[in-house]
């Protein structure tokens, strides 16, 4: 599979380049950066801290999508929406790890997925994907008397909160309970809040240092507490999962998929 990388000079982009170059069955098709970036024109192998590969970073998405079988996009919501439409026009599969996408953005992804396979996941880690599946299962098994709280911590530079992964865990818990997350989520608590609303799903957000990503789902009731936790110590796990998803796209029918589909864990929440 010829894989293209969006944002190839960023921290995540460089890891994606390195992982693509190191993965059997993957061929680097190219990489792009924003127009005016000093990385444009630099060899992609050099950006990946390796030997030159004869491909340089560009700034034209259309050229990248035309050259690639699948493109991996960890960028911004506005850019990702544009790339989804481009993927549909060029019949290029797309793997999306962008966070902060809203309902209107997902609608665009769904429309594009009628033409090409798109894998969209707030977290590409195999471990987090398993955590989401377990969260849904535990939420379905434990009774409504178990309160659900989701705690996440990321580095000081992260701009969205709660994290996309935390929201994905919330959706998984809500699916297990058969409830609507938007109607039952509590995003913040301050001052005299009153007692906890039965059946609600709470979120707590922590920011600091260089934390790559810590997520915990807590099920608490009288007398006991069950906690499911995942901690990422390197962004390399996200790159590995994204390249795995890109290779999985080969031969897939058009549709909007998740990492749970990639790992064969069944339909996601």
Q: Tens digits of per-residue pLDDT, 103-154?
A: 999 999 999 999 999 999 988 999 999 999 999 999 999 989 999 999 999 9
For residues 148 and 100, membership in a common domain is answered with no
How far apart CA 21 and CA 33 sit, in angstroms, is 18
Q: Is residue 269 part of a domain?
A: no
For residues 138 and 83, membership in a common domain is answered with no
Indicate whether 268 pLDDT > 70: no
Q: Is residue 210 part of a domain?
A: yes
Distances (CA, A) of 122 to 90, 160, 206: 24, 12, 18
Indicate whether 79 pLDDT > 50: yes
How far apart CA 232 and CA 178 sit, in angstroms, is 29
For residues 234-258, average pLDDT? 96
User: Does 123 belong to an annotated binding site?
Assistant: yes
For residues 168 and 71, membership in a common domain is answered with no
User: Does 157 belong to an annotated binding site?
Assistant: no
Provide φ and ψ at 88, rounded to 5°. Answer: -65, -40
For residues 8 and 77, membership in a common domain is answered with yes
For residues 256 and 214, membership in a common domain is answered with no
Q: Tens digits of per-residue pLDDT, 179-189?
A: 999 999 999 99
How many domains would you assign to the chain?
Answer: 2
**Catalytic residue set:** 154, 158
Q: Is residue 75 part of a domain?
A: yes
Question: What CATH number is attached to the domain comprising 218?
Answer: 3.30.360.10
How far apart CA 96 and CA 248 sit, in angstroms, is 13
Q: Is residue 6 part of a domain?
A: yes
User: Does 180 belong to an annotated binding site?
Assistant: no
Question: What CATH number is attached to the domain comprising 38?
Answer: 3.40.50.720
Provide φ and ψ at 205, rounded to 5°. Answer: -115, 130
Q: What's the CA angle centered on 143, arms 138 and 146, to 5 degrees?
A: 80
The share of the chain scoring above pLDDT 90, in percent, equals 93
User: Does 204 belong to an annotated binding site?
Assistant: no
For residues 109 and 132, membership in a common domain is answered with no
DSSP 100: -
User: Does 4 belong to an annotated binding site?
Assistant: no
Q: Is residue 64 part of a domain?
A: yes
Q: Tens digits of per-residue pLDDT, 155-167?
A: 999 988 999 899 9
Indicate whether 230 pLDDT > 80: yes
User: Does 191 belong to an annotated binding site?
Assistant: no
Q: Which of 22, 65, 7, 11 lies closest to 244, judged by CA? A: 22
Q: Is residue 68 part of a domain?
A: yes
Give residue 209's region: left, alpha or beta (phi > 0; psi -120 to 50): left
Q: Is residue 157 part of a domain?
A: yes
Residue numbers of the domain that contains 180: 126-232
CB 20, CB 28: distance < 8 Å: yes
User: Does 8 belong to an annotated binding site?
Assistant: yes
User: Does 182 belong to an annotated binding site?
Assistant: no
Query: What is the residue-averaged pLDDT of the chain?
Result: 95
Longest dimension (CA), the chain: 62
Q: Which residues contact 211 (CB under 8 A, 6 or more apart)?
A: 153, 154, 155
Q: Tens digits of per-residue pLDDT, 22-71?
A: 999 999 999 999 999 999 999 999 999 999 999 999 999 999 999 999 99
How far apart CA 61 and CA 144 sit, in angstroms, is 48
Tokens 């390796």 — which residue? 50
Indicate whether 266 pLDDT > 90: no
Per-residue pLDDT, 269: 42
Indicate whether 239 pLDDT > 70: yes
Say if residue 162 is preceded by a cis peptide, omega within 30 of 0: yes
Burial per residue of 82-98, b for 16 or more beta-carbon CB atoms within 10 angstroms, e otherwise: ebbebbbebebbbbbbb
User: Does 249 belong to an annotated binding site?
Assistant: no
């Amino acid at each position: 599979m010829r894989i293209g990388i969006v944002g190839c000079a960023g921290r995540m982009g460089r890891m994606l380049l390195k992982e693509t170059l190191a993965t059997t069955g993957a061929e680097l098709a190219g990489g792009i950066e924003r127009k005016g970036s000093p990385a444009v024109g630099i060899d992609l192998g050099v950006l990946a801290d390796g030997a030159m590969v004869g491909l340089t970073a560009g700034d034209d998405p259309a050229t990248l999508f035309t050259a690639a079988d699948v493109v991996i996009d960890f960028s911004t919501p506005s850019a990702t929406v544009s790339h989804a439409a481009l993927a549909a026009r060029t019949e290029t599969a797309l793997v999306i790890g962008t966070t902060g996408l809203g309902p209107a953005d997902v609608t665009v992804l769904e429309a594009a997925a009628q033409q090409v396979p798109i894998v969209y996941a707030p977290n590409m880690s195999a471990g987090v994907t398993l955590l989401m599946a377990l969260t849904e299962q535990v939420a379905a098994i434990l009774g409504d008397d178990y309160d659900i709280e989701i705690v996440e911590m990321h580095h000081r530079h992260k701009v969205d909160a709660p994290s996309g992964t935390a929201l994905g865990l919330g959706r998984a818990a809500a699916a297990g309970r058969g409830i609507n997350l938007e109607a039952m989520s509590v995003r913040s608590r301050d001052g005299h809040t009153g007692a906890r609303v039965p059946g609600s799903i709470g979120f707590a957000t922590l920011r600091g240092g260089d934390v790559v990503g810590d997520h915990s789902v807590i099920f608490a009731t009288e007398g006991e507490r069950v906690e499911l936790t995942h901690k990422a110590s390197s962004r390399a796990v996200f790159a590995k999962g994204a390249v795995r998803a890109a290779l999985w796209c080969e031969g897939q029918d058009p549709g909007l998929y998740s990492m749970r589909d990639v790992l064969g864990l069944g339909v996601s929440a």
